[in-house]
């Protein structure tokens, strides 16, 4: 039986942005913006999503990744009771909840860092951070130096080889499960986390909650180093993300297919997406806006666990600048922005429904069937059924003759309900410009 995450469709929420919270957490007051986030739950469910990745959530100074209290929800969003209610409402709607785990670094206001600032070498926490050196001052004016994430001294790096730090972080996760009943963690900066820490994290969380999911943020590298039975269940599939938008922009399906073939051994476990809180929105990346639907069709039917970034269903645009990511993280309201509803919204909702209902799309084997620069067809084989996806990125109609890899007499178009005959182990399919479809084979 598949674990819940293998058949999930995720909705990615960046709460500080989508609620329009202040950029700095300097006011000593709680604002209950989780009430606004609750309004998204019916909308998320209407898209066929069965899980959310939400974060950052915990008390921080600015953008959310400079944590200073791992056991308190950011007061710009609300309090712990608000988040406990939010997760309960999600669970009541059949939605799992995965949160950000920012364990590579903390903010400067974190208690251990402040203790070192005050007591220097007499602090019991002096070994909680990497590279602590009392022989020089940091660029931020601290009376010691330390390793900082990518040179940002507002983000001092934790020493994850220190058993005390590990115990503290495992206690934090135990607290999140106990207080909020979360279902998994997305590990920020997993590409630079200590491998021994992640292996112990897997062992510890398996004891805390059945089917607890660990997903890591990894951009480059051999994903199998992270995704394996000893460490993480999944990582962010940046390789597919890149090949999807560039493959459509360049009318080069070979790039996408090559990427999928190379990753197929682990690709069924990878977290797939077309945009997120760090990347330009797909509606801004694509040269041809008519490619939005076939891009999402690929996202939902290629191997992996698909995720929609909030507003993507409305074709919201946004590009990052050299100075800011704010355009990627706009304030949106589930109710006030409902007028943004468009054809793509309905298409994504149907893709979500199809993904939820078709077991071949959950963890099914991938098989390439047809490949040209502008047309692409592939199968997903489950234990009980087989699905064929076909896409056309050309501006003209295309007629595809697709080999059928199993014994079947016909196929049903899951968008239209129409039946297409199988003749001589092939299906002939007409696709309109910049379009695609999904077929379920009626096997003999």
Question: How far is 215 from 184, CA to CA, in rounded Å?
Answer: 8
Asked whether residue 444 carries a pLDDT value surpassing 80, the answer given is no
Question: How far is 424 from 101, CA to CA, in rounded Å?
Answer: 53
Cβ atoms of 407 and 443 within 8 Å: the answer is: yes
Both structure tokens of 189: 């900066």
In this prediction, residue 402 carries a pLDDT of: 98
Q: Looking at the domain assignment, is residue 162 inside a domain?
A: yes
pLDDT digits (tens, 9 = 90+) for 163-215: 999 999 999 999 999 999 999 999 999 999 999 999 999 999 999 999 999 99
Judgement on whether residues 356 and 397 belong to the same structural domain of the protein: no
Q: Facing residues of 5 across strands?
A: none
Mean pLDDT across 227-236: 97
Q: With bands split at pLDDT 50, 70 and 90, how would you rate the model's confidence at 264?
A: confident
Is pLDDT larger for residue 338 or for residue 88? Answer: 88
Q: Which of 340, 363, 386 is the last residue of a domain?
A: 363
Judgement on whether residues 309 and 370 belong to the same structural domain of the protein: no
Q: Where would I find the beta strands (DSSP E) of 274-364?
A: 305-309
If we measure between CA atoms, which residue out of 392, 211, 234 comes closest to residue 306?
234
Tallying the residues shown for the chain, one arrives at 444
Q: Facing residues of 42 across strands?
A: none
Q: With bands split at pLDDT 50, 70 and 90, how would you rate the model's confidence at 266?
A: confident
Question: How far is 363 from 269, CA to CA, in rounded Å?
Answer: 8
Cβ atoms within 10 Å, residue 413 = 14
pLDDT digits (tens, 9 = 90+) for 391-438: 999 999 999 999 999 999 999 999 999 999 999 999 999 999 999 999
- DSSP code string of 113-137: HHHHHHHGGG-TTTTSBTT-BTTS-
Cβ atoms of 206 and 214 within 8 Å: the answer is: no
Judgement on whether residues 222 and 294 belong to the same structural domain of the protein: yes
Q: Is 391 exposed, middle or buried (0-12, 13-18, 19+ CB in 10 A)?
A: buried
Is pLDDT larger for residue 261 or for residue 265? Answer: 261
In this prediction, residue 1 carries a pLDDT of: 65
Judgement on whether residues 100 and 245 belong to the same structural domain of the protein: yes
Cβ atoms of 51 and 96 within 8 Å: the answer is: yes
Q: Looking at the domain assignment, is residue 151 inside a domain?
A: no
In this prediction, residue 157 carries a pLDDT of: 98
pLDDT digits (tens, 9 = 90+) for 301-357: 999 999 999 999 999 999 999 889 999 999 999 988 888 999 999 999 999 999 999
Q: Which value, to the nearest 10 degrees, does the dihedral of the CA atoms of residues 189, 190, 195, 198 take?
A: 120
Both structure tokens of 106: 């903390």
Q: Taking the complete model, does pTM exceed 0.85, yes or no?
A: yes
If we measure between CA atoms, which residue out of 418, 338, 279, 362 comes closest to residue 9?
362
Q: Give the CA distances from residue 293 to residues 171, 233, 346, in Å, rounded to whole numbers and listed in that order.
A: 43, 29, 10
Judgement on whether residues 229 and 335 belong to the same structural domain of the protein: yes
What integer best gives the mean pLDDT of the chain?
Answer: 96
Judgement on whether residues 235 and 166 belong to the same structural domain of the protein: yes
Judgement on whether residues 184 and 36 belong to the same structural domain of the protein: yes
Q: What CATH number is associated with residue 186?
A: 3.20.20.80
Judgement on whether residues 331 and 307 belong to the same structural domain of the protein: yes
Number of domains in the chain: 2
3-state helix, strand, coil in the chain (%, to 5): 35, 25, 40
Q: Looking at the domain assignment, is residue 192 inside a domain?
A: yes
Q: With bands split at pLDDT 50, 70 and 90, how would you rate the model's confidence at 99?
A: very high
Rounded to the nearest 5°, which phi and psi values hold at 371? -150, 120
Judgement on whether residues 119 and 191 belong to the same structural domain of the protein: yes
Asked whether residue 265 carries a pLDDT value surpassing 90, the answer given is no
Q: What CATH number is associated with residue 432?
A: 2.60.40.1180
Asked whether residue 387 carries a pLDDT value surpassing 80, the answer given is yes
Cβ atoms within 10 Å, residue 12 = 23
The domain containing residue 406 runs over which residues? Answer: 365-443
Q: Looking at the domain assignment, is residue 133 inside a domain?
A: no
Judgement on whether residues 66 and 11 belong to the same structural domain of the protein: yes
In this prediction, residue 406 carries a pLDDT of: 95
């Amino acid at each position: 039986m598949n674990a819940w995450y293998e058949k999930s469709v995720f909705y990615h929420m960046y709460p500080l942005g989508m609620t329009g919270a202040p950029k700095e957490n300097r006011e000593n007051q709680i604002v209950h913006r989780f009430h606004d986030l609750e309004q998204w739950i019916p909308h998320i469910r209407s898209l066929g999503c069965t899980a959310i990745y939400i974060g950052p959530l915990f008390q921080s100074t600015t953008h959310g990744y400079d944590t200073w209290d791992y056991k308190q929800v950011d007061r710009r969003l609300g309090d712990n009771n608000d988040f406990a209610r939010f997760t309960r409402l999600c669970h009541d709607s059949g939605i799992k909840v995965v949160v950000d785990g920012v364990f590579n670094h903390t903010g400067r206001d974190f208690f251990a860092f402040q203790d070192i600032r005050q007591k220097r070498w007499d602090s019991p926490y002096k070994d909680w951070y990497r590279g602590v050196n009392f022989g020089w001052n940091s660029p931020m004016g601290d009376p010691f130096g330390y390793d900082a994430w990518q040179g940002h001294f507002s983000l001092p790096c934790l020493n994850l080889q220190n058993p005390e730090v590990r115990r503290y972080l495992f206690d934090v996760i135990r607290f999140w499960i106990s207080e909020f009943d979360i279902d998994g963690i997305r590990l920020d900066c997993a590409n630079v986390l200590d491998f021994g820490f992640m292996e112990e994290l897997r062992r510890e969380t398996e004891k805390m909650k059945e089917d607890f999911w660990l997903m890591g943020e990894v951009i480059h590298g051999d994903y199998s180093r992270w995704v394996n039975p000893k460490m993480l269940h999944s990582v962010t599939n940046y390789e597919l993300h890149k090949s999807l938008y560039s493959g459509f922009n360049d009318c080069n399906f070979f790039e996408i297919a090559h990427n999928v073939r190379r990753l197929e051994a682990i690709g069924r476990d990878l977290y797939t997406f077309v945009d997120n809180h760090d990347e330009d929105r797909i509606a801004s990346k694509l040269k041809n806006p008519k490619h939005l639907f076939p891009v999402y069709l690929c996202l939902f039917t290629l191997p992996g666990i698909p995720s929609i970034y909030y507003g993507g269903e409305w074709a919201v645009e946004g590009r990052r600048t050299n100075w800011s990511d704010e355009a990627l993280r706009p304030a949106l309201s589930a109710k006030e922005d409902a007028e943004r509803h468009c054809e793509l919204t309905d298409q994504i909702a149907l893709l979500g429904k199809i993904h939820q209902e078709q077991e071949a799309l959950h963890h099914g084997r991938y098989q390439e069937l047809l490949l040209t620069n502008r047309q692409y067809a592939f199968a997903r084989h489950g234990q009980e059924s087989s699905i064929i996806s076909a896409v056309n990125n050309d501006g003209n109609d295309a007629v595809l003759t697709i080999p059928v890899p199993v014994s079947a007499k016909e196929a049903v178009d899951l968008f239209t309900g129409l039946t297409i005959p199988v003749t001589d182990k092939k299906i002939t399919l007409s696709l309109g410009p910049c379009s695609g479809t999904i077929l379920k084979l009626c096997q003999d």
